Structure 1
Amino acid sequence: MASPFHFNYAIICRIPQSFAARSIRPKDCGEVDIEKAREEYETIREVLKNCDVNLIELQEDENYPDCCFVEDCAVVIGGTALITRPGDSTRQGEVGEIRRVLKQDMRLIVKEVGDAKATLDGGDVLFTGKEIFVGVGKRTNSQGAKAVADAFSDHVVSLLDIKGSELEHLKDGFSMAGREIMAVAPGTDCTLILKKMQEVASCQYKVMQLDSRRAVDMLYVNGRLIHHVRNEMGDHSYGELMKAADPDLKRHEMQVNHLSANGRAISRMVLPFLKLKHYKHIISSLP
């Protein structure tokens, strides 16, 4: 039986020079020092290695400034990968190399979004280990969300309307901080989405309420939690994380200020997955 948060491979992508000038970021993000961004990328790379993850590192493509945000290009659960169709049309060419790696090199079961009108970003898909939530909003439409439900029909898939929120992606406001622990960003919009989520959820989660959206940016992998350093999270969020997390949980803190987009960088930079010789259903041990 495989744990839903156990991964032995991850796809990452180097930072293109064009990232500094043309990446899709809020206007208030400030200047990006490309060399510092690349140093932060190397930190993520080394941390993943320390988490017992084999890395597949893609060459940067100057035609796609956001190519380092590989999370948006596929949704991988168990031995199945769904290739997405990013909501920003300028990013749709990024999926080709991801598809090739997952299908030809890793030989996963690769599915495609069939509806030509569908849009789907991986950042709108939250897998809790037990079920899947898909945010329908700025980057993912209802047809894209249906593609997730069709591809992962052995899981409960719930659609959440996030169009009225400030979130670019569902995972800008929600992430898994451990087994059954959900980190939630502040704001009335996130509170309303959480309420919708709890109404349709098939199991209960411990909610860790944080006071900054950047603090929600974390990655739970192989019994370890990768998150921002204290000065990027804020004292309150850092304290909540210390209280909520398992005391035996190994944590990796990192500073990724120059890679941050919409306050989130760590989870967007990594596409983790489990590669087995013979796939069995990924069984959750959550109640």
Structure 2
Amino acid sequence: MSDQSFRFSHAITRRPGASITAGLRAVDTGAPDLALMLRHHQDYIAALRETGATVVELDPLEAFPDSVFVEDTALCLPEGAIVMRPGAPSRLGEAAEMAPQLRRLYSEVVQVETGFIEGGDILVTEREILVGSSARTNAEGIAELVRLTAPWGRTVREVATPPGVLHFKTDCSLLDAETILATRRLDASGCFAGYRVIHVAEGEEAAANSIRFNDLVLTPAGFPRTAEALDKAGYDLRQIGNSECAKLDGGMSCLSLRFTPQ
């Protein structure tokens, strides 16, 4: 069985800048501590490199406080990269900054021109691309994704993001070709029919935003019951501090673009 949805040769990250304290957030729980965030960010990069992947570290973009969350700027598939059109107006320029980086690594880079869509709403599995409609991703943006991925033979399926949840992947992540980690509230929608689902522990919903990267599962620290369930299921875990990114609604998937360019 193919495993291109979780085995990668490359990742792109961007160091957070001092302007991160002005980042977007649904609820203000205090300004993030930049020094601590940088330490967590280096732990994250070290875990990616541990798998043998090439990790590109981009410099901070002070003009864009949320630019550490690079996943929202693009969708990277083996066939090519798609530059997104973020739904938050203050983040539109981040995608334009990412495009030249992708062109250095990909022979084909295309761009969403209408509507809005962010990478945090897109979950790629071996059989399909799931896209959650949300406050940041609308029907027009999803239609653009369908159009752009059709030449690559990709199937796109629109699903609903739970009310009050920022991104679809806030509540789920891919663990392997057949298994998804998800909150009960998201799984209750039936969007994962046909997959094996492992639920995060009650009260540990933030742990749903983890990533499978080669042989590791990177999960945010501080969610012991979910970590125990993943360990029992046979996954090799790396628990990474995420307290500061969480203040800006960010998680493990948000911090990198993960891909194997052809």
**TM-score when normalising by structure 1:** 0.84
> 1:209, 1:250 → 2: CA distance?
17
- Map of 1:40 onto structure 2: 40
2:197 is aligned with what amino acid? V
Identity of aligned residues (%): 24
- Map of 1:176 onto structure 2: 174
Task: Kindly indicate whether residue 209 of structure 2 is the aligned counterpart of residue 208 of structure 1.
Answer: no
Q: How does 1:73-88 map to 2 (within 5 A)?
A: 73-88=73-88
How many residue pairs end up in the alignment? 257
SS at match of 1:208: strand
> 2:177, 2:106 → 1: CA distance?
28
Q: 1:221 is matched with which residue: 197, 200, 213? A: 213
Q: Deviations over 1:47-92 (max 9, x none)?
A: 1111211111111111100000000000111131111000001100
Q: How does 1:121-270 map to 2 (within 5 A)?
A: 121-153=118-150, 154-162=153-161, 165-187=163-185, 190-193=186-189, 195-198=190-193, 204-210=194-200, 211=202, 212-229=204-221, 232-233=222-223, 235-244=224-233, 247=234, 249-261=235-247, 264-270=250-256
SS at match of 2:147: helix
- Map of 1:113 onto structure 2: 112
> 1:58, 1:10 → 2: CA distance?
11
Q: Deviations over 1:118-153 (max 9, x none)?
A: 001100011122211111121000011112212222
Q: Deviations over 1:125-183 (max 9, x none)?
A: 11122211111121000011112212222122111133x61211100111112231101
> 1:262, 1:182 → 2: CA distance?
24
- Map of 2:59 onto structure 1: 59
> 2:34, 2:173 → 1: CA distance?
27
8 Å Cα contact 2:180/2:197 also seen in 1: yes
8 Å Cα contact 2:231/2:237 also seen in 1: no
Taking a change above 3 Å as real, the CA distance of residues 170 and 3 of structure 1, as seen in their structure-2 partners, is same
Shift of 1:263: 5.2
Task: Kindly indicate whether residue 18 of structure 2 is the aligned counterpart of residue 17 of structure 1.
Answer: yes
8 Å Cα contact 2:75/2:82 also seen in 1: yes
Shift of 1:2: 6.2
8 Å Cα contact 2:72/2:118 also seen in 1: yes
- Map of 1:8 onto structure 2: 9
8 Å Cα contact 1:214/1:263 also seen in 2: no
Shift of 1:217: 1.8
1:108 is aligned with what amino acid? S
8 Å Cα contact 2:80/2:261 also seen in 1: no
> 1:107, 1:78 → 2: CA distance?
9
> 2:173, 2:76 → 1: CA distance?
16
SS at match of 1:12: strand
Taking a change above 3 Å as real, the CA distance of residues 90 and 263 of structure 1, as seen in their structure-2 partners, is closer
**TM-score when normalising by structure 2:** 0.91
8 Å Cα contact 2:77/2:261 also seen in 1: no
> 1:19, 1:108 → 2: CA distance?
32
2:143 is aligned with what amino acid? K
Q: Deviations over 1:238-262 (max 9, x none)?
A: 2222233xx3x43222112112256
8 Å Cα contact 2:80/2:106 also seen in 1: no
Task: Kindly indicate whether residue 92 of structure 2 is the aligned counterpart of residue 92 of structure 1.
Answer: yes
> 1:262, 1:216 → 2: CA distance?
16
> 1:11, 1:17 → 2: CA distance?
20
> 2:129, 2:199 → 1: CA distance?
20
- Map of 2:49 onto structure 1: 49
25-34 or 45-54, which deviates more? 25-34
